Amino acid sequence: MRILGIETTCDETAAAVVGVGFDGRGEILSSEVLSQIAEHAAYGGVVPEIAARAHVEVLDRLIARALKNANCAIKDIDGIAVAAGPGLIGGVLVGLTTAKAIALVTRKPLMAVNHLEAHALTARLTDGIGFPYLLLLASGGHTQLVAVKGVGDYVRIGTTIDDAIGEAFDKAAKMLGLPYPGGPHVEREAARGNPERFALPRPMQGRAEPNFSLSGLKTAVRIEAEKIAPLTQTDISDLCASFQAAIVDVVVDRTRVGLRRFREIAGAPKALVVAGGVAANQTMRQALQRLAVETGLKLVAPPLALCGDNAAMIAWAGLERMRLGLIDDINAPARARWPL
Ligand code: KG4
Ligand code: ZN
């Protein structure tokens, strides 16, 4: 079985072909990702209209390249999977309309996949883990702790009441004059900074509900930066290190509480899975690894190329759904908001 996947919900245009090997495990046959970061960098964030236009310009070529690199023609594909949301509606429409056109012309099944579900199922593609598991999804747009009990069977345990984790990294970076997207820059600066120089708050730490609130932490960074402005290179590194240490502490604490809640509702988890762009952060990974060891779990974090947005995860989610007969109608809607 081979599935073509398409992803256009945010600022990455992506197409991929994923199949299943003889052992039933997923196999990425090709995965093309074109980031629009350069187009949005000047604005310090993603501009929806620019994103949608950029998807239109490159998507056809990207699909052709994904097929070519997977050594197959469209006739060899068994189904078309597309992220139908949540995301920026203009971009979602570009991908969804393209996928529908291909599905109609080739008479192949269409799977309108939830982008968050695709992040949630990626660990099964990369590590073949079984259900149930606890997912920490940490990206620029989403922060969720989810009990993944089966394909299509998700219970949200916690979420953020304001900024997403990646968004907090991006906003802190912007305040410190670092380029967008800020996460990787903050991590680089933090590596040479002193995480103990600034006593930043750990919002929500210790609370019984495994939710997040990060906007106060971001404000605390701004206040500290204003106190010592103009900032030297060392100040920036120390602020980044202190910020990263605070956010990692919060994430570990919230995830620990999430694991407790998970056991109440879904029994023993098979793994702790971290996904989304922030999962690229090595300090975060190491801290979650320690939490996993402490709680007797295996930490599964997808390889860096699959942490951020990509189409292999969409194809895989489509494949998982198609195997269960979960095929969508050609009228499947594009959804800006679509909770798991
Ligand atoms: O999953 P993703 O590629 O896109 C969505 O938001 O859906 O995640 C991008 C986010 C951005 O906020 C980016 O700053 C953050 O992930 N990020 C990081 C790192 N790499 C990417 N945050 C912290 N440390 C990193 N190394
Ligand atoms: Zn994403």
- On whether residue 154 sits in a domain, the answer given is yes
Give the residue with greater pLDDT, 63 vs 21.
63
309 is in an annotated binding site: yes
Residue 201: is the preceding peptide bond cis (ω within 30°)?
A: no
Closest-CA residue, ligand 1 atom 22, reads: 183
How far apart, in whole angstroms, are the C-alpha atoms of residue 82 and residue 335?
12
Residues 6 or more apart whose CB falls under 8 angstroms from that of 101 comprise none
Residue 138 backbone phi and psi in degrees, to 5: -130, 100
CB 276 within 8 A of CB 119: yes
* Total number of domains in the chain: 2
Examine residue 76 and state whether it is found in any structural domain, yes or no. yes
Question: E-assigned strands of the chain?
Answer: 2-7, 12-20, 26-35, 79-83, 110-113, 133-138, 143-150, 153-159, 272-275, 299-300
What pLDDT band is residue 67 in, cutting at 50, 70 and 90?
very high
Of 53, 114, 52, the C-alpha closest to 83 is 114
Residue 24: which residues within 8 A CB-CB, separation 6 or more? none
269 Cα–ligand 1 center, Å: 26
Q: 24 among the known binding-site residues?
A: no
Is 78 annotated as belonging to a binding site? Answer: no
* Domain-located, residue 253: yes
* Residue 187 marked ligand-binding: yes
Q: How far is the CA of 231 from the centre of ligand 2 (A)?
A: 33
Q: Are residues 157 and 200 in the same domain?
A: yes
Q: Is residue 73 part of a domain?
A: yes
The answer to ipTM > 0.90 is yes
Query: Residue 22: is its pLDDT beyond 90?
Result: no
pLDDT digits (tens, 9 = 90+) for 274-331: 999 999 999 999 999 999 999 999 999 999 889 889 999 999 999 999 999 999 999 9
Cα 265 to Cα 74, 133, 158, 262, distances in angstroms:
43, 12, 13, 5
Residue-level pLDDT at 150: 97
Are the CB atoms for 2 and 29 separated by under 8 Å?
yes
Predicted pLDDT of residue 340: 87
Alpha-carbon span 118 to 156, nearest angstrom: 15
Judged by DSSP in three states, 289 sits in helix
Find the 276 Cα to ligand 2 centroid distance in Å: 6
The 272-275 sheet, strands edge to edge: 153-159, 143-150, 133-138, 272-275, 299-300
Percentage of the residues of the chain whose pLDDT score is greater than 70: 100
Per-residue pLDDT tens digits for 116-140:
999 999 999 999 999 999 999 999 8
Q: What is the mean pLDDT of residues 202-206?
A: 97
Question: How high does pLDDT run on average in the chain?
Answer: 96
Q: Are residues 115 and 185 in the same domain?
A: no
| Distance, first Cα to last Cα, the chain | 26
Token pair 């919060």 is found at 250
Residue 308 CA to ligand 2 centre (angstroms) = 6
CB atoms within 10 A of CB 196: 10
Q: Which of 108, 113, 55, 58 is nearest to 81 (CA)?
A: 113
Assess whether 157 and 31 both reside in one domain. no
Q: Which CATH number does the domain housing residue 289 bear?
A: 3.30.420.40
Which ligand sits closest to the CA of 283? 1
The length of the chain in residues reads: 340
Could you tell me if 292 and 310 lie in one domain? Answer: no
Q: Examine the domain organization and report whether 140 and 270 are in the same domain.
A: yes
Residue 107 shares a structural domain with residue 135 = no
Are residues 256 and 283 located together in one domain of the fold?
yes
Asked if residue 283 is part of any domain, the answer here is yes
What pLDDT is stored for residue 23 in this prediction?
81
**pLDDT at position 241, please?**
98
Pairwise CA distance, residues 282 & 71, whole Å: 34
Distance from residue 184's CA to the centre of ligand 1 (Å): 8
Residue 256 shares a structural domain with residue 171 = yes
Model confidence over 33-60: pLDDT tens digits? 999 888 888 887 888 998 899 999 999 9
Host domain of residue 207: 131-297
Name the pLDDT band for 186 (thresholds 50, 70, 90). Answer: very high
| 185 labelled binding-site residue | no
* Best residue for ligand 1 mutational test, from 169, 170, 244 (most atoms within 8 Å of Cβ): 169
Residue 308: predicted pLDDT? 87
List ligand 1's pocket residues with C-beta within 6 A. Answer: 10, 139-141, 166-167, 169-170, 181-184, 187, 276-278, 280-281, 308-309
**pLDDT at site 42:** 83
If you average pLDDT over residues 219-224, what whole number do you get?
Answer: 97
Residue 183 in marked binding region: yes
* SS3 state of residue 263: helix
Return the SS3 of 329: coil
Same-domain status, 277 and 150: yes
Model pLDDT, residue 332: 98
Rounded distance from Cα 285 to ligand 2 centre (Å): 18
* Whether residue 40 sits in one domain with residue 175: no
pTM of the complete model = 0.93
150 shares its domain with 261 = yes
Nearest to 201 by CA among 250, 253, 140, 165: 250
230-273 residue pLDDT tens: 999 999 999 999 999 999 999 999 999 999 999 999 999 999 99
Category of 227 on φ-ψ map: left (φ > 0), alpha (ψ -120 to 50) or beta: alpha
- At 45 the pLDDT is 81
Question: Per-residue pLDDT averaged across 104-120, rounded?
Answer: 97
Q: To test the ligand 1 pocket, which listed residue (8, 40, 114, 139) has its Cβ within 8 A of the most ligand atoms?
A: 139
Average pLDDT over residues 171-186: 95
Nearest to 161 by CA among 109, 130, 104, 203: 203
- Ligand having the closest approach to the CA of 120: 2
